Structure formats: C-alpha cells, structure tokens
Structure 1
Amino acid sequence: MTAATLDAFLNSYAGTESPIRAAVAETVRQLVQAATTVRGTINQGVLGHAFAGTRGSANAGGDEQKDLDVFADDIFLTAIRHAPVALYASEELDQPVLLDAAAPLAIAIDPLDGSSNIDVNVSIGTIFSLLPATGAPDQNPAASFFQAGSNQLAAGFFIYGPQFALVLTLGSGTHIFVPSPRLGTFVQAYESRAIPERTQEFAINAANYRHWDEAVRLYVDDCLEGSEGPREKDFNMRWIASLVADCYRILMRGGVYLYPGDRRKGYGHGRLRLVYEANPIALLVEQAGGVATDTLGRILEIVPHSLHQRTPLVFGSEREVQRIGRYHTDPSSIGERAPLFGNRGLFRA
C-alpha cells in the first residue's frame, strides 16, 4: 500500500470551503521548504558557513545565540513571507515581525531547538505553532500570541536527526512524515500516533536534583528505587537535552518528560517557552493521547502574558503525568508515602 503524501494530506485537510484551512496548508508547505534548506545546511556540518560558532550575543530569552540559530531564523522568516501569515514571532527576535496585517495566521517558532547539541551531532529541530491572527495585527502585533494554546490551528516540529521528519497535527491526530527521495516529497510514515498510557521510562536532567522541589525529588527517588521501591517496577532514565528528540522518542514508545521549575536563579517559573515550545509540543502530545501540564494544570489552558514567557513542562504517557501531578498535590496518598518526607532518596547523603 502506497503511503499518503504530505501534499495529499494537506489537500484533504484544506478542502475547498475553508480559507483558513487553505492558509494553514500553504503555511505548512512553506515551512517544509525552509526546513529542507536548514536540514541541508546541518548536513554540511563544520564544512558549512552556518557552523562558524557562537555570536557572542543572546536571543530574546537570554540564551546564547549560535550562528546556526540565526541562519535558521532567517530561512524560516524568508519562507513565511510567501505564506498567508500576518505575524512571525521567534525565539531569536525580541518582538513579532509584521508581514501582512490582512493575513489570517500568526506563527510562533523556535527555529532551532536543542542548539546546544549542534556541535556534538545530536538530533535538533524546529518547533512551530500556528494561531489565528486576532485584533489589529498592525497596531498590537504581540496580541495574537496572548491566547491559550488550545486555540492553535496547527502545530508541529521538524527533527534533524538520523531521520529527517515532520511531526504534525492539524487538530485531528498526530502524524509523522518523512521525505521520499523517490517521490521527491514527504510521505506519511506514521498515522495518528498513540502514546501508551503507562510507561517505565522518564526523562529529566538529574544534575539539577539539588535544585528541585521536594515533590520532583520524591518522584525521581521512587522511580530509581525500581522494583524494590513503592513503584514496584524498574525504570529507565533518558535525557537528550533536545526537546524535539525527547518528544519524538515519547511519541514512538511512550515515556514522560520533566523540565520543572527549580530554585536556580531564573528557573523558578521553568525554562521552556510557553508560546513556541510548550504549546505546540502539548498539542502534539494531546493529539497522540498523552497529557501535558505545568506539573499541575493543563498547558493548553494557560493564557500567555508575554511573548517569551517561560513555564515548567511535564508531558507524555497519561497515567505517569497524572501521577506526577499527585506528587505535587497529595504525595502521601501515593504508594507507600507515609510519612510524606520520611523517604531517604538514593541521591541523598
């Protein structure tokens, strides 16, 4: 059976009656062209002009910019100028760029997620969110991005790894497309991914253990105690430090991802950006049957108050994410938690 092409998928979605759907489909096509260019540059590695190193400057979120970050942003912005998009908001830019005030869409994008992994040949990616442009884009460009993630019309990411892939949701399932050299286009590799409800794998940066809140420490302690502990099963721990790579793994085989807020300066409200990282990932995960929270509440219900707002993020297999929430609200009811903080963790002296 021949796999569906991305063009056929987008044509079926757009139909003939919905201008907004047609606009979404055309924007995804422009994103694919840009991502293909970025992928080609990444494949050149240090032989390419975009691998010169860091720029000695920081992006809007305060992270160090690398040449490839800025290159990717320029490529995507150029492509989106040819799409029906009113506003372009990026991790690399302080404020949104007004493109066409009459266009129906706004795009929020992380042009190169996981850029700390650029020089070590680990999977990196591009994350994007498509929203309806609201109000008067030419008078208040940021306003379109201050709406809950549940309003997203589409979301996805490109992953530049051993496989080049597009993970996409248009609001009905999470689908994965890969390029076919034979057909010269993307084809559907996985239709409507389903994240298992249960898991025995979690992803977190354990180096920050001493900075975590007690609830997060307790959860990780219980996982690490394995079959002898209150969870009564053995867990594996994974951490790639690339959001797209961790999310792709969870879409493929389940798991849970944690990037909580902690006691480090600037990390109290989490580190990932709500508008162009957490929201699109949350929509993809929910459309695959998973759950995404800020440890307590649903990510997609948060109304942003700033473009580069940060948030804690927990996502993945439904039962595990819900369990992590209970560690924050009522941990004494979980397993053998009695008294609450009587447990000595494996990392403690």
Structure 2
Amino acid sequence: MPLTGRWTLTRYLIEERRRYPQASGALNALLLDVSLACKAIARIVARGALATNAAAPQAGALNVQGEVQKPLDLLSNDIFLRMNEWNGHLAGMASEEMDEPRPIPEAYPRGRYLLLFDPLDGSSNIDVNVSVGSIFSVLRAPAELTDGSRELRGADFLQAGATQVAAGYALYGPSTMLVLSVGNGVAGFTLDPELGEFVLTHPAIQVPEETQEFAINTSNARFWEPPVKRYVDECLAGRTGPRGKDFNMRWIASMVAEAHRILMRGGVFLYPRDTKDPAKPGRLRLLYEANPVGFLMEQAGGRASTGRQPVLGVLPSALHQRIGLVFGSASEVARIERYHHEPPPGDSDAPLFAPRSLFRD
C-alpha cells in the first residue's frame, strides 16, 4: 500500500488486474457492481425495522430451502439481480432465494461469468440487531452459454469450489466491510460513509495458525457423529484434557459473522453433518455458502472441509445442495478430518480386545 493513503476497492482491483495483462477488466467491473449492491443493502439493513414498508416485496412464503422468507431477504435478492443483470459481464445468476437460476434478460448482452449469492445471510438475526451479511461467488460460464449457442441451465453452476474466479462477503455490522479474494490472497475493505467507497483496511488477511476458540451449536450435540463429539469433548476438557489448553466456545448463528471472526482472530467453525435429519447431509448450502467461504479460508492460509474431504473439491450435484462444513485454522480442521478417518479411541481390530472378547467386562 502506498504511503500517500489507503487504496480504494477500485484501485485494488486495477492493481490486481495488472498482474494479468491479457485480462479484459470484466471481472473488475462485475465485482464493483457487486460491491454497489452490498452498499445498497447495507443502507437498508442499517435502517432496521424502519426499512420494512409497503413498498418492500411481500414475504412469508417458503423458499426452496423450506425457510420463511423475510421482506429484507426478498428486497436484498432483488437488489443483487437489478445491480448485475445489465452490465454485460454475466451469463446468469443463481440465488439461495430463487428456485431456479436467473438468465440475463434479452435486452442485455451476455458475459463470461456466473454469479451465485446469498443476498442476506443470517437474516433471522436482524430482529435482534445481530450482524448479518451477503455472500457471493463468481464462476466462469461455459463458452457455449456465453456466445448464445444455448440457454442457461442449472447444471452450468455445478462446478467445484476450486474453480471459483472470485468470492467474498459483505458484513453489515458496526461498520460495513467487504472481504474479497480474486485468487491472490484475501483483502478486507471498510465502507467509508463520507466517501461512499470501500477502502482497503485489512490487506493480506491470514487466518492465525493457533487458536483456542471453536464455534458450534451445542443444542445439536445428541445428533453429532462420534468424531465431532470427540473433538468438542476434548476442547471442553480444557487444560487438564488431551489438548492441554482451555478453549472458548462461540456461536453467532450468522455465517458471515462467524467467518469474519475466524479470519480476524482464528478459531474453527463446525456445522457438521449429523443425524438430526438423515435426508439432509448438512445444513449449509454448498454453492452459496460453503464454497465462497471455503475459498476465502484457503486463500487466507486456513482450511475448509466437509469433515472428511476439502470442501473445494466437492463436485456439486444440485443447485441447492446442502453439505456439512468445518473451516478455520488449518491445524484444527486437519485434526477434525483425522478424527473422521481414524477408529474411535478404544476400538481395536484385535479380536482379543474387541467388545466381544475374552477380556470383556
């Protein structure tokens, strides 16, 4: 960063583009439009209950996830669509709030990218004034979609997280922040309300390697798989347990706020697969939440996993696929993965020491 002052988001993106002389600048322009959508949503969220009026889209229906849509969910979704449909950089969009992907209107040109987003993550927390956010992911569109050879399909979005071109989130808290990666590390920008610009305040974010914090919803403990229960029990055992140190537990129930805390000061977040609803292999959405957050974590030196494998390597099978997710400090996530792959403590393949053995109590 130059000594003359902080960089704006625009300058940051220009400097990143200079690393690729062949780049057209379309990605930069797209990300600036995404940031504009986030600014608009930030203003609405800041008004709280004052923002809900007769002009807002009606809510109360269930989205494709079976969740009740709030007025601000729908309004935020509409903002993302309107801010990005016209710019000529996209071939289609998909949102957690929409059953099907949204093609670009015929009045506008098609571009070379696909945009996926959760327009207002954690919206159930708005009523109690807890931080919420928007999450987004950018993929390359298939060539035949870009040149108009065929129409948009849901399958176009079913790409592994490792193929993401860019990903990020906006956090609407005491200050509005945009955290972004274009594949060269992670940078954080704070919205300057006087300038109306996102200003680089957190360059080269790195997830701290060591941590003494974990985040999980313990009300689901009875549904956890043994490796998750083992990990949490060891953390709770504290200094006298096998980890030899005390841990603090956090739980905000807002994905963006959880991810931001871990990027800033380390820790591990677990929303694992469990037995609460056997029909659902997890709670979080692979394309709209797990992949973009996983991309940021990996770019910041952390790790993101299903508990069994890197989440960015999962090939999606459905547009609204759910998945278990663990992310944060790399060593902690690696430990949880190891617990999933090794036998539970006390188990043995040796017949003499198996549960039905000569030495059974």
Is TM-score (shorter-chain normalized) higher than 0.5? yes
Taking the aligned partners of 2:57 and 2:244, their CA distance within structure 1 comes to: 47
CA distance in 1, matches of 2:238, 2:347: 20
2:306 is aligned, of 294, 297, 318, to 294
Change (3 A) 1:315 1:162: same
Corresponding residue for 2:61?
Answer: 57
Deviation at 1:50, TM superposition (A): 5.6
d(CA) in 1 for partners of 2:322, 2:117: 14
Identify which of 70, 74, 90 aligns with 1:70.
74
3-state SS of paired residue (1:65): coil
Contact 1:50 1:68 in 2 (8 A): no
- SS state at 1:186 partner: strand
User: For the residues of structure 1 that align with 2:287 and 2:255, how far apart are their CA atoms?
Assistant: 14
Once residues 209 and 308 of structure 1 are traced to their aligned partners in structure 2, the CA distance between those partners, rounded to angstroms, is: 25
Pair 1:24-2:27 in alignment? yes
- State the structure with more CA Rg: 2
Using the TM superposition, give the Cα deviation of residue 91 of structure 1 relative to its aligned residue in structure 2, in angstroms.
0.4
- Which residue in 2 is equivalent to 1:207? 219
Q: Is 1:115 aligned to 2:123, yes or no?
A: yes
CA distance in 2, matches of 1:216, 1:54: 40
Give 1:102 shift: 3.4
Where does structure 1 differ by over 3 angstroms across 4 or more consecutive aligned residues? Answer: 15-20, 50-54, 135-138, 181-184, 337-340
Tell me, yes or no, if structure 1 residue 170 matches structure 2 residue 182.
yes
Q: Percent identity?
A: 45
Deviation per CA, 1:157-216: give whole Å up to 9, x if none.
Answer: 000011200000000001000112344311101111111222110000000000111111
Q: Does 1:13 find its partner at 2:16?
A: yes
Measured in 2, the distance between the counterparts of 1:60 and 1:128 equals 18
Equivalent residue, structure 2, for 1:273 = 285
Does structure 1 retain, via aligned residues, the 8 Å contact 2:90–2:111? yes
The residue identity in structure 2 corresponding to 1:240 is: I
| Structure 1 residue 19 displacement after superposition | 4.2
Q: Distance in 1 between matches of 2:99 and 2:70?
A: 16
Distance 1:134 1:176 in 2: 30
Q: Contact between 2:59 and 2:74, CA under 8 Å: does it hold in 1?
A: no
Change in CA separation of 1:102 and 1:53 when aligned onto 2, cut-off 3 Å: closer
Q: CA 1:229–1:50 in structure 2 vs 1: closer, same or farther (change >3 Å)?
A: farther
Cα displacement (A) at 1:135: 4.7
3-state SS of 2:126 partner: helix
Partner of residue 345, structure 1: none
- Cα-to-partner distance string for 1:36-76 (whole Å, 9 max, x where unaligned): 11111111111122698982211122221111100000001
8 Å contact kept, 2:95–2:116:
yes
Stretch deviating more after TM superposition (105-114 or 82-91)? 82-91
Equivalence map 1:190-269=2 (5 Å): 190-265=202-277, 268-269=280-281
Contact 2:155–2:319 under 8 Å retained in 1 = no
Q: Which residue identity is paired with 2:120?
A: L
Q: Residue 101 and residue 277 in structure 1: after superposition, are their counterparts in 2 closer, same or farther (change >3 A)?
A: farther
Q: Are 1:328 and 2:336 an aligned pair?
A: no
- Which structure 2 segments of 5+ residues have no match? 349-361
Deviation track 1:212-234 (CA, whole Å, cap 9, x = no partner) reads 11111111111101011111110
Q: Displacement, 1:267?
A: 6.2
Structure-2 change in CA distance of 1:144 and 1:18 (3 Å): farther
**Cα distance in 2 between the residues matched to 1:275 and 1:42:** 24
Contact 2:57 2:75 in 1 (8 A): no
Give the corresponding residue for 1:42.
45
Q: Within 2, Cα distance between the matches of 1:300 and 1:101?
A: 30
TM-score of the superposed pair, with normalisation by structure 1:
0.91
Matched position secondary structure for 2:69: strand
Distance 1:135 1:95, change over 3 A: farther
1:246-295 Cα distance to aligned partner (Å, 9 max, x none): 00000000000000011112664101111111000000000000000000
Give the Cα separation in 2 of the matches to 1:29 and 1:247.
22
Residues 257, 315 of structure 1: 8 Å contact kept: yes
Task: Give the alignment partner of residue 146 of structure 1, picking from 142, 158, 165.
Answer: 158
SS of 1:56's equivalent in the other structure is coil
- Give, in whole Å, the separation in 1 of the partners of 2:203 and 2:224: 37
Aligned partners of 1:155 and 1:284 also within 8 Å: yes
CA RMSD of aligned residues (A): 1.9
